[in-house]
Every structure is written in structure tokens, then in C-alpha cells.
Structure 1
Amino acid sequence: MRSYYCGYAASSAALPSLLNLKNVSPPFFNISLNLGGGNGGEEEDRSYQSAKLTVPDYKWRLVIAYDGTRFSGWQYQVSPPTIQCIVEEALTRVTKLERKDLHLVGASRTDAGVHAWGQVAHFVTPFNYDRLESIHAALNGLLPSDIRVRQISPAVPEFHARFSVKGKIYHYKIYNDSTMDPFQRHFAYHSIYKLNAALMREAAKHFVGKHDFSAFANTSRNDRTPNPVKNIFHFDVNEMGPLLQLEVEGSGFLYRQVRNMVALLLQIGREAIPPDIVPRILSSRDRKELATYALSAPPHGLSLVAVKYNEEHLRLPTNCPATSFGRHHSITKCKVPCL
């Protein structure tokens, strides 16, 4: 038995068969082949009994913004279309990889109609890039105008868009005027009732801290046994003319938790119930208790603004291209002849 060692440095185009192997990643890899049997050692009659291939993936982090109005949320499904489905389709065309090989994962599975400015996702490729500006431009050229990749950067192997999350920030916008601003209709909930922002602000303070939010969670098929204890870092109610912007930051959120908290604050803002109702509902740990006073707020007022990670997860790996924030185009000035 003879042992052969082969070292390659090749692009994905040069190695189409290897791209079909699971967990195949960088363009630099080692193959160790044990060759046995054969007919007098002739090359054409060799029998390949075993092969070992060890290659890690290159991981890439995306920051994505989207208007969720016409989409059925982030999570992948073919029909009706979702954000993940559209982004994966663009990635398959740019990378020439199959969907299953990209392993695209989003930080937050936003609902239908919910928007994002700072959704974070990651995907993997079996090859490296020298520069990211070209793939960045290609992705945005393929994506519809209501989805945009804001940033592409290399990621360390330990980074995971969903499981490495340290915190998330959401905004919920309420347009509080008798007449709705038509430019806000897709991004803010219209309340014709005059809201008492001071009472809403007082009630929001009760959410801050570590609590069991079972009473504010809808049942989700994706998370059958979630941990109901979440830590809310801050919950602010900001007045900007007729627009109220509710900003909440927490370690994580249960299914529809933010929209359910906003729905209760709306009832408190209408002065239908007092602010001290919040601790009572929290302590009940019963979704039916909340349903007595409020249902979920509509999705179109909600936006995922940012996802936070620890510094070690955001550090750039060695021998990687620089982060792409998009490519700016410049116009070459024409020289006008002197008259």
C-alpha cells in the first residue's frame, strides 16, 4: 500500500466535484489518499479504498435592511416569499453554490410585515474572496429594491448570527394624530386616540430587568420550549412631534413579545388601564391575562434596528478581505476646451 499526499490551491471553479462535498470550504486543503490493490502498480488499475478530506468553511457576516411590507417574514418558505428566500436566491447566483451549502442563518426571525435596518445573517462558502465590494454590488443588483445588504464582512468560525447574539434593539413607531401621514403608513401604527406618553413611559419601566415574560409570548411552532426569562436593558418612549418611537433593548425576545408589550402600552396611553397593571400581568405568567386587556399590536410599526454581539465574535479573522460598506461611483469630469 502506498500513501499519496496532494496539496492544492485552487478556486471553486477549478474544483466543481469538491464543492458537492459537505463541509468543504477553503481553496487551500489537503487530501490524504490510501491506495491499495491494483494491477502491477499501473495507474489506470488502482483501487481507491479510502480518502480523507479536512477543510473548514469561510464564514461571512451580512447586515441587511428591508421593508417587510410585502414579505411573509424572514424565515425560509417558498410561497409566499420571505426575506431569507430572496437573499438565498441572490447568494446562489453570486456564489454558484446550492442553497443547502450556504447555510444562511438570520439573527432574528421577524414576522410578516415587520421591517429591519440591522438584521444580521451569516453564510459560508468553500472559497475565499480577495475583495468584497464586487459581491456586495452584485447582491444588491440582484435583490429587489426593498431589500438591501448594508454590509459584508468576514467572520470568525465561532460567530453564529443567531446563537452568538448578546442583545437586540427594536423600534415601534406610533403616529399619534387625527390624520395619518401617508409617508408613514407602512412604518408606523396610526392611533387616532390621543396617547398619554408620560403614562406609557411610566409603565415601560416595569418591563426593565429580568422577568418571566410568559404572559407576553404567543405560542410559536418554531420555539416549542423557549426560556421565558428575558432581560430588558431599557424601554424608552420618545416623542417626536406626532410620532411616538418606542425603543426596547433586551437580551432576547419571545415570539411576538415586543408587539404584545406595545399593545398593552397603547391601552395604558389611552388611559384605559393604569401603569401598575404591568407587574400584575407579568407575575401571572398567563397569556390569557394579557388578552383581557390587549391583543398584539400590528406588525408594520415594528423594526429590528440592531443586533449586538461580543467583541470576540466581531473580530476579523486573519488573511481576510476588508469589510465592504458598499461601493461609491464617481463621475469622470469632461475637459472643456478653452475658447
Structure 2
Amino acid sequence: MNCGALGLPSPLFPNAHLSSANSNSVSAEDANHLVMVKPTITLPHHKWRLLIAYDGTHYAGWQFQVSPPTIQCIVQKALVQITKLEREDLHFVGASRTDKGVHAWGQVAHFITPFNYDSLETIHAALNGLLPSDIRVREISAAMPEFHARFSAKSKVYHYKIFNDSIMDPFQRHYAYHSVYKLNTAAMREAAKQFIGKHDFSAFVNASRNDRVLDPVKTIFRFDVIEMGALLQLEVEGSGFLYRQVRNMVALLLQIGKEAIPPDIVPKILLARDRRELAKYALSAPPHGLCLVAVKYKEEHLLLPLGSPTTSFGMHHTVSKCKLPFY
């Protein structure tokens, strides 16, 4: 299969090697046998970065699957319709594979086309015109060839909301977990600080899916507990997160906030490196309180390629003359 930059199959010739019959073969050796690799021609392509927000209530997470529908599936379907490319040719990748029911304000994704765009406002408007109202593309921009939505990320920021009152705010029911227990926020802050730093988070990961490479060592840069009246917002930024790691950390903080266990339980569970140790004290917090707020990259990864169109933030419509009076 012909590959372009980043080792991706060419969208123009997905099944062709594009090497002449007289080309010299190059040998490559793997662990078991010698294989012959023909040199290939690198074809130009253009990479595009999307900033996406979505309400995850009615979706089975981000990762592609047709039924039940996922965010990646819905956005990719719209891209196929607009670009007239096959799904495999788009190489559509998201920064974070959020779970079922989890929301996002700052999901980042990229896709590839064999052609350039003069302006991005039209495709931006077309995308949001095809997408359901609970999924919005906030920005679309050109991306450098080396940019990768997932592997270029240097950190991710998640917020988890807890509504701490005897009566639930009905307007928060899809976006905040309801705790009727009065939480000790000082104890939660003390415990949250003990997550900061580089740790093995094996005790805070659920059984990993087959398509996820498990690296249990992650760095937490900050973990804040912010009070906004009855609403508590837990803000965590890290180099990366394991499957359900944030929800498991929040679940433990909830138990500490209820004063069922002391804050100094955190180092003990981290050192155990065993999910069963956490299970003695807490189960995962529900997904609807969690939101992916931002994915951060190095400045050089966000530069626009030379000759690329300007970033689209959406078009504002204006009316030059009001034809109907307001009453």
C-alpha cells in the first residue's frame, strides 16, 4: 500500500505501490523473517485540524462504531459527504477517546485530503449544517504535516462537576453528578494534591480495551477543587489518562469528601498499583459529570502551513436593513 508522510496510505492511490517494475527492492528484517519492501512515491496531502464540542448524553463515546452511534462516526460521515472521499482515505483521528456519556468542549481531531481549500468558512458551515445540534465544530484550521491530534498532545484538561445540594438543579442533571451528602471540600483538596506528580496509576484504570496501549505511568500537573455555590468543579490536567482514570480518581475524592475515608488513603492506593485496592473504597463516578475541556499542544504544532487558508471560527451573518419592525 502506498504511503505518504506519517506512513499514511495515500488518498489518491489507496491500493497502489506506485513503484516501477525495474525499481530495486529494499530488504527489511523483522523478528522472524526477511521481507522485501519496494520503494514508494510520497504524494502530497493536506491536513486539517478540528476543534469539536459535543454533548455526549446520547452517544456511545468517541471511538468509531456504527451502532450505537459515536461522535467519531457522526462527524466522519459528514466529512465523507462533504469531501467525497472514502472513510479510510480521511484518516480521521481524535485526541481523546471519551467514553459513553462523557462530554467535550475542546476535543481535537484531524483529517487528510489530497486537495487544498482556498477558504475554510464554507466547509465549516457545511459541517455544522450536516451535524446534529448536540455536536458542533468550533474551529477548523490547516495543520502542519507532523501534527497529530493524539500523539502531538502534551496535556489534556478534564473537568468533573458535582452538584452538592439536597435538591438537584434540573438544568444540571445531564452535566453534573448529584451528591446529597455535604462534602468536605478541604479534605478533597488535600487528597487531590497527592495525585499531582508522576505516578503509576495502575490502581485507577479499568480493564483496558483491546485497541488501547496501556502505559500506567502518567504525570498530573494540577488537580483543583473549585466551589461555585452548590456546584463543585474538579479540574485535572495531565500528560494523559488511562481508561476511566479521571472518573476513578473523582470517585475516591467523593468518598473522602463524605469523610468515609481519610485523604492520606491516596498514596496507599497509588503504591498498591492494583485496581482491586481502589475497589475496596470506591466505584467509578458516572460519566455525565465529566467533560474534556482542552487538549494542549506545543506552539510549533499549531502553526499554519505556508499558503494555507486562515482559520475558520464560523461566519457571522449581518442584516443591512431591518424590514420588519420590532414590537
Distance 1:33 1:227, change over 3 A: closer
Number of the residue aligned with 1:248: 236
Number of the residue aligned with 2:77: 89
The structural deviation recorded for 1:54 is 3.9
Give a deviation string over 1:195-243, Cα, whole Å, max 9, x none: 0111000000000000000000111124554111100000000000000
Number of the residue aligned with 1:21: 13
Aligned residue identity for 2:104? A
Number of the residue aligned with 2:204: 216
Q: Separation in 2 of the partners of 1:20 and 1:70?
A: 35
The structural deviation recorded for 1:23 is 9.4
Give a deviation string over 1:24-60, Cα, whole Å, max 9, x none: 9xxxxxx9999xxxxxxxxxxxxxxxxx854221000
Give a deviation string over 1:277-315, Cα, whole Å, max 9, x none: 000000000100000000000000000000001111111
* Structure 1, unpaired ranges of 5+: 1-17, 25-30, 35-51
Number of the residue aligned with 2:256: 268
TM-score with structure 2 setting the length: 0.87
Q: Does 1:108 align with 2:100?
A: no
Number of the residue aligned with 2:132: 144
Q: Separation in 2 of the partners of 1:254 and 1:330?
A: 46
Distance 1:214 1:32, change over 3 A: closer
Q: Separation in 2 of the partners of 1:105 and 1:157?
A: 14
Name the one with the larger strand percent.
Answer: 1
Aligned residue identity for 2:200? D
Q: Which has the larger radius of gyration?
A: 1
Number of the residue aligned with 1:5: none
Number of positions where the alignment pairs a residue of Structure 1 with one of Structure 2:
298
Q: Separation in 1 of the partners of 2:170 and 2:45?
A: 46
Question: Match for 1:171 among 125, 149, 159?
Answer: 159
TM-score with structure 1 setting the length: 0.84
For the 8 Å contact 1:23–1:55, the answer to whether it is kept is no
Secondary structure, in 3 states, of the residue corresponding to 2:56? coil
For the 8 Å contact 1:23–1:57, the answer to whether it is kept is no
Number of the residue aligned with 1:28: none
The structural deviation recorded for 1:332 is 1.8
Q: Separation in 2 of the partners of 1:67 and 1:222?
A: 26
The structural deviation recorded for 1:335 is 8.1
Q: Does 1:301 align with 2:301?
A: no
Q: Separation in 1 of the partners of 2:51 and 2:167?
A: 35
* Structure 2, unpaired ranges of 5+: 1-9, 22-39
1:27-42 correspondence runs (5 A): none
Q: Separation in 2 of the partners of 1:222 and 1:120?
A: 23
For the 8 Å contact 2:11–2:113, the answer to whether it is kept is no
Distance 1:123 1:276, change over 3 A: same
The structural deviation recorded for 1:22 is 2.5
1:145-160 correspondence runs (5 A): 145-160=133-148
For the 8 Å contact 2:89–2:112, the answer to whether it is kept is yes
Q: Does 1:316 align with 2:316?
A: no
Q: Separation in 1 of the partners of 2:174 and 2:208?
A: 25
Q: Separation in 1 of the partners of 2:103 and 2:177?
A: 13
Aligned residue identity for 1:199? A
The structural deviation recorded for 1:334 is 4.7
Secondary structure, in 3 states, of the residue corresponding to 1:207? coil
Number of the residue aligned with 1:49: none
Number of the residue aligned with 2:56: 68
Q: Separation in 1 of the partners of 2:15 and 2:202?
A: 38
RMSD: 2.2
Secondary structure, in 3 states, of the residue corresponding to 1:139? helix
Give a deviation string over 1:91-138, Cα, whole Å, max 9, x none: 011111111110000000000000000000000001000000000000
1:193-208 correspondence runs (5 A): 193-208=181-196
Q: Separation in 1 of the partners of 2:41 and 2:249?
A: 51
